[in-house]
Chain A
């Protein structure tokens, strides 16, 4: 029994069947990649896991509990963090403040009125945030205003914000899109290290096959809203159906 169990999930948008009969089981402490053509329903599936969308049919169990019907913040409190396809960060806040908010959320739960504390008296959290920033190579930007950062930086920041929450399950929607090769490689290393050292389960959507094949323990290929195949990376690489629907001829991993 995996930490995340998706059973028979289906989702329609008007006449469009975005997802149908999706079954997925992610084992604890593994990295599970979801790939598939554009518009296959990958992001939709992710949205169903985090409470942004409610599936029409099926069930989603996380850590033995159903996530359906819970609001996004409750699901996050259960231990699921998500990185978005277009970075969602607090663009009026500094990098450091962006890091502090998830730390507070993790420590205090969904709501706690700390109206009289000073942020700066939380030395322990500050150290933690700095540590994390160092891990993603952003410590030098700690006081920067995030609105003026380049997009690659925003992505890394968002990832750091999610990681610092020490989630049980980390959902990544194309985390390296738009990242320079060097940073992509850093990210791969970072995720690998995290998975090993922190007991994290990762579900990742990615079109960069280099990333997918370096990280994934298992891969699900989604096409037109249904899983096409699910297997270990080696099998997927050569899979003819996958080649045709997704990888194409020139795909070099």
Chain B
């Protein structure tokens, strides 16, 4: 189906099912239970899951296949966001032109940076991309303030022209991002007994785009082009002596992944029309690297899992404060309750970084193939064939 092998079709169908049903899957706990803290099925986070999923899928096309480790991909995401917000300011609040512009501009920007950076390999390449991204960040933060609004971030205001739309709504508010009138902010709630599920327009727009992005990435992985990219990672010498010039292939991969990043950036701005410079900083580039490795570089689904995991921690774990802990353990005698809260305290809430750090270490130490390998092991434990298999390419360093 869809021009894919059976295995890949299954994977795609699973991903479609998971994303479409995400509002249910991510809200497994009844609204009133103590575990409701762990529900992640609210629009903003669901959007983040898929948007960062797109970012990581794109990054993986470059890193997972060619082994070229870019440390500056956040720059493309940022450029995408700025383009989209400018579109909202100047043109209209329809997200379609915004997203198209994001992808195009990010593509052009990555073409330029890739063309220069790909003159070098290995760590030298990584540092070149890092340097470009840090320069973009520093400039966006300071001298480019007229375009980027500096540290505060580029926002839409009541006096933007929006030549194809309206500057303000009748009641004096800023209009809302939409897709031909369907507002991204629109949500519908569904209450089923103790459970409550939220369906968000914005999420489904992102989800559909992520599925498309994922589908394209499968096609790329299974294509001759994808094979060339893996060959580049494996042995550039042999590549040359087989009559192939690695550079255009890596450049194409770089630009494709830059466009994915641009798409993610454009979507982020479409869901929440603000573009901040920090999303171009090296930490943001590092984050997508971590997502990809954590999930399993070079695997199809891994980056999405990694993105989900990191975003989950950032958004859910950071919210568990002592108060919440006390409610959980309130059934215990006071002394024990305080002890439990005391033990967990450093790891949740503002300590979420600590937990994330520990998880990074545990995952690499025990699951060298990332979360995907964890999934495979569980799959094997139940004697089934591994459900989320991927290419035969194993993760290799960015030599």
- In-complex Cβ contact of B5 among A76, A120, A161 (8 A): A120
Interface flag for A110 (CB, 8 Å): yes
Q: Is the CB of A88 within 8 A of B249?
A: no
Q: Does A72 make an interface contact (CB < 8 A)?
A: yes
- Residues of A close to B3: CB separation below 8 A: 118
Given A101-B227, A113-B225, A115-B220, A94 contacting B245 (CB threshold 8 A): no
Contact across chains for B396 and A92 when beta carbons are under 8 A apart: yes
Q: Is the CB of B245 within 8 A of A114?
A: no
B233 near A101 (CB under 8 angstroms)? no
Interface size on B, residues (CB 8 A): 34
Q: Which residues of B contact A91 (CB under 8 A)?
A: 234-235
A192 within 8 A of B: no
Which residues of chain B have C-beta atoms less than 8 A from A119's C-beta? 222-224, 226-227
Q: Is the Cβ of B238 less than 8 Å from the Cβ of A89?
A: yes
When distances are taken between beta carbons in the complex, the residues of chain B under 8 Å from A108 are 224
| Contact assessment for B233 and A111 in the assembled complex, using a CB-CB cutoff below 8 Å | no
Q: Distance (Å) between the CB of B170 and the closest chain A CB?
A: 46
A contact residues around B222 at 8 Å (CB): 118-120
A145 to B256, CA, bound (A): 28
Query: Which among A90, A109, A117, A122 has the highest number of chain B CB atoms within 10 Å?
Result: A90
- Mark each residue of chain A from 41 to 85: 1 if its CB lies under 8 Å from any CB of chain B, else 0: 000000000100000000000000000000111101100011010
The chain A residue with its CB closest to the CB of B252 is A113
Q: Are B393 and A115 within 8 A (Cβ)? A: no
Q: B3: nearest residue on chain A (CB-CB)?
A: A118
A83-136 at interface with B (beta carbon < 8 Å): 84, 88-94, 97, 100-102, 104-106, 108-120, 122
Contacts of A176 in B (CB 8 A): none
Q: Does A184 contact B (CB under 8 A)?
A: no
B261 CB to closest chain A CB, in angstroms?
A: 17
Total A residues in contact with B, Cβ cutoff 8 Å: 41
Chain B residues 202-243 with CB under 8 Å of chain A are 219-220, 222-228, 230-231, 233-235, 237-243
Inter-chain contacts of A165 with B (CB < 8 A):
242-243
Quick one: closest A residue to B4, CB to CB? A118
User: Do A102 and B252 touch across chains, with their CB atoms under 8 A apart?
Assistant: no
Chain B residues in 8 Å Cβ range of A88: 235, 237-238, 241
Contacts of A94 in B (CB 8 A): 392
Contact with B along A193-232 (1 / 0, CB 8 A): 0000000000000000000000000000000000000000
Contacts of A145 in B (CB 8 A): 392
Which of chain B's residues has its CB closest to A143's CB?
A: B392
CA distance A92 to B396 in the complex (A): 9
B225 near A114 with CB under 8 A, answer yes
Task: Evaluate contact between B241 and A101: CB separation under 8 angstroms.
Answer: no
Q: Knowing A116-B223, A119-B222 are in contact, say whether A90-B392 is a contact too (CB < 8 A).
A: no
- What distance in Å separates the Cβ of B375 from its nearest Cβ neighbour in chain A? 21
Bound: A88/B242 CA distance, A: 11
Contact A110 B396 (CB under 8 A): no
Docked-complex contact A71 and B223, CB < 8 angstroms = no
Would you give the shortest CB distance from A151 to chain B, in whole angstroms?
A: 16
Residue on A nearest B237 in the bound complex, by CB: A88
Contacting residues, chain B, for A161 (C-beta < 8 A): 238, 242
B380 within 8 A of partner (CB):
no
- Chain B residues within an 8 Å CB radius of A117: 223-225
Alpha-carbon separation in the docked complex, A89 to B392 (Å)? 16
B350 interface residue (CB < 8 Å to A): no
Closest Cβ of chain B: how far from A12's Cβ, in Å?
23
Question: Which of A50, A91, A118, A161 counts the most B-chain CB atoms under 10 A from its CB?
Answer: A118
Distance (whole angstroms) from the CB of A100 to the closest CB of chain B: 7
- A92-B243 in contact given A115-B223, A115-B256 (Cβ < 8 Å): no
Binding site for A on B (CB under 8 A): 3-5, 219-220, 222-228, 230-231, 233-235, 237-245, 248-249, 252, 256, 392-394, 396
20 contacts between A and B (CB under 8 A): A71-B245, A73-B240, A73-B243, A76-B243, A77-B243, A92-B396, A93-B234, A97-B227, A97-B230, A106-B243, A113-B225, A114-B223, A114-B225, A115-B225, A116-B219, A118-B3, A118-B4, A119-B223, A119-B226, A145-B392
Q: Please give 8 more A-B residue pairs, beta carbons under 8 A apart, in addition to A81-B242, A115-B225.
A: A73-B240, A76-B241, A92-B393, A92-B396, A101-B227, A101-B228, A116-B219, A122-B224
